[in-house]
Amino acid sequence: MQLSIEGWRIDVAARTAQRGGRTEQLSPRALRLLQVLVKANGAVVPRGRLLDRVWPNVTVGDDSLTQVVSEVRRKLGNRDLIATVARGGYRLTASSLVRTAERELPDIEPGSFFSIDAYTLCIEARDCFQRGGEGSQRAFVDLAAEAAAAAPEFAEARALHSLALLKRHIFWSEGETLLDAALAESEAAIRLDPELAHAHLTEAAIRVSMGAIEPGRRSLERALALGSKDAELHLEAAILLLTMGEQRSAGALAIRAAALAPEDFGADLLAARMYQHSDPVRGHLYAERSLRKVRAKLAIDPHSMRALYALGPLLAQLGDHRGARSALESVAHHDSPLEYYRAMGLCQIGDTTAALERLEFLALRGWRHACILDKDGGFRSLQSDARLKRLQADVLAA
């Protein structure tokens, strides 16, 4: 789709304006403003309507609108292109208005900007995180940051950068405090695309980590409303609810995540731990399901770190302590947050001293997720241990 205004050929999909040998890049907001004004055919469009159309579902002030109008005037080189109507709004001047061949100009949807280069970096970042090996947290942040820098208008890249910063802050901070930076990125992603479910979920987790429980809950509800069929989102939401102490809702979401991704073992693994003591039959069922999926994964990819780390805790929960110890010992120690699962497996076979040593190792690397230890069924035998309580207190105070 193209617009033609005062000799400028504006390509909506490419977000470019060309005239002669000159090319200008326009922001999604600037394009949306132009579309609304062109549709008005020279009539005045009130400020309130422009705010609603250019920033749907987002509350901004008049200053934001003024900045976008200034952007269009500046980049198209004509201050008179858009007329300001006192106490009214804005209109495209009659001398500037040229209708396109297409009668109806559909609005640019929020979040429609796309960058193949940034998207490639996002894919690589997610793959790096899923591998879970040494250095994966730092590499996840670096790749996501590169994606966000390459395309700051790409909502998915900004949301992924926010998630990477949050994961690094919680699981492998190495002394860095990253919550404020993560929140700024999630807010930017939501401004760019108010319907990006994962951005709302990350914002929820950040706010809960900051102690803002009710705002976090509202963001979580928004995320689930937008991502009702997203398995990964349901699993992450279940973990967040578990840290908030909401066992019933967390269990329901874990089960839903397992149903949405029947070949993935992560949701069944979480459900197995959650029901291990409150409903042993159900917990055993989910542990068996997860174990089958873990073995299927290892048959395809024998080096899958997440599957290798899941094997020991599952065997322990199912009563095979010898097999669990063998599985735990077969995986070399890694500088990775996945050592949490080694600690869990050791705890379940009764080696609480070794389990605590692994948790202390994580704490030294800046692991900040101690709030889950008294809620995760995999650590039940340690939850009354004074050593664990001291560790929790130390981590939470760090």
Question: What pLDDT digit, counting tens, does each position of 339-393 carry?
Answer: 999 999 999 999 999 999 999 999 988 888 888 888 898 999 888 889 888 888 8
What is residue 79's DSSP assignment? Answer: G
CA distance 375 to 247: 8
For residue 81, the enclosing domain spans: 2-92
Question: What pLDDT digit, counting tens, does each position of 22-79 carry?
Answer: 889 988 888 888 888 888 777 888 988 888 888 876 777 888 899 999 999 999 888 8
pTM across the whole model: 0.72
The whole-number average pLDDT for the span 200-220 is 95
Q: In what order do the strands lie in the sheet with 82-85?
A: 45-46, 89-92, 82-85
CA distance 218 to 84: 38
Q: According to the model, what pLDDT value does residue 48 have?
A: 87
Beta bridge partners of 90: 45, 84
Domain assignment of residue 19, yes or no: yes
The whole-number average pLDDT for the span 223-246 is 96
Beta bridge partners of 22: 19
CA distance 171 to 209: 12
Tell me the CATH number at 64.
1.10.10.10
Q: Are 197 and 226 in contact (CB under 8 A)?
A: yes
Domain assignment of residue 130, yes or no: yes
Q: Are residues 168 and 218 in the same domain?
A: yes
Q: According to the model, what pLDDT value does residue 258 have?
A: 97
Domain assignment of residue 362, yes or no: no
Q: Are residues 82 and 124 in the same domain?
A: no
Question: What pLDDT digit, counting tens, does each position of 337-353 carry?
Answer: 999 999 999 999 999 99
| pLDDT beyond 60 at 99 | no
Q: According to the model, what pLDDT value does residue 133 have?
A: 76
Q: Are 31 and 12 in contact (CB under 8 A)?
A: yes
Q: Are residues 136 and 46 in the same domain?
A: no
| pLDDT beyond 50 at 169 | yes
Question: What pLDDT digit, counting tens, does each position of 135-162 carry?
Answer: 787 888 899 999 999 888 899 999 999 9
Q: According to the model, what pLDDT value does residue 368 have?
A: 86
Domain assignment of residue 293, yes or no: no
341 exposure class (CB count in 10 Å sphere: 0-12, 13-18, 19+): buried
Q: According to the model, what pLDDT value does residue 104 have?
A: 42
| pLDDT beyond 60 at 118 | yes
Domain assignment of residue 311, yes or no: no
Which of 228, 261, 292 represents a domain boundary (last residue)? Answer: 228
The whole-number average pLDDT for the span 283-289 is 98
CA distance 339 to 137: 13
Question: What pLDDT digit, counting tens, does each position of 309-348 carry?
Answer: 999 999 999 999 999 999 999 999 988 899 999 999 999 9
CA distance 27 to 16: 9
